[in-house]
Amino acid sequence: MLTGSCACGQIRYEIRGELLGPITYCHCWRCRKHSGSSFGTTVGVRAGDLAFVSGEDRLAYWESSPGIKRYFASCCGSPLYKRPDESPDLVGFRLGTLDGDPDRRAEMHFHVGSKAPWVEIADELPQEPGGPPFGERD
């Protein structure tokens, strides 16, 4: 079973099921800004498989667009997952807060058209070319 935590450690969670779909490096501007990093690393998790061991009351969210809730740790700012009202059973999970090895590896780069100019992709993973140029929003 996978475990993880926010940066300050008050929120602790377990993922009690499979990770769904590919582990994706997403270079879109949303992932960059929502994570404060060069790209987002995301995978699907069934909402029912996500269990909070501590700190669930520290969870906060904002809506990046109507019906898309982005959950983060109000204690320290760690971005945790995205949950759409339309399909609330599946969350888009940010893997950076994991504390264990999921025994799977990243499978693709997504939206490389929006890639930050300082990022050099040096692996052989498939690249999906979508996304507006760096610095522009779609």
Q: Which is nearer to Zn ion, 54 or 67 (CB)?
A: 54
Q: Give phi and psi for 111, each to the nearest 5.
A: 55, 45
Record the tokens describing residue 46, joined without a space: 């069934």
Binding segment for Zn ion (CB under 5 A), chosen from 19-27, 59-67, 97-105, 117-125, is 19-27
Q: Which is nearer to Zn ion, 48 or 129 (CB)?
A: 129
* Residue 98 vs residues 38, 55, 136: alpha-carbon distances, Å: 18, 15, 30
* Residue 11 vs residues 61, 77, 108, 136: alpha-carbon distances, Å: 14, 11, 29, 34
What is the closest distance, in whole angstroms, from the C-beta atom of residue 92 to Zn ion in the complex? Answer: 9
Q: Which is nearer to Zn ion, 6 or 43 (CB)?
A: 6
The H or E element that residue 32 is part of is helix 29-35
Reduce the DSSP state of residue 125 to 3 states and report it: coil
Q: Which residues from 29-58 bind Zn ion, rule CB under 5 A?
A: 31
Amino acid at 91: V
The correct pick among 28, 45, 80, 91 for binding Zn ion (CB under 5 A) is 28
Binding mask 67-96 for Zn ion (x = CB under 5 A): ------x-xx--------------------
Q: Which is nearer to Zn ion, 35 or 49 (CB)?
A: 35
What sign does the CA torsion over 63, 69, 70, 74 have?
positive
Residues of the shown chain interacting with Zn ion in the complex, contacts defined by CB under 5 A: 6, 8, 10, 26, 28, 31, 73, 75-76
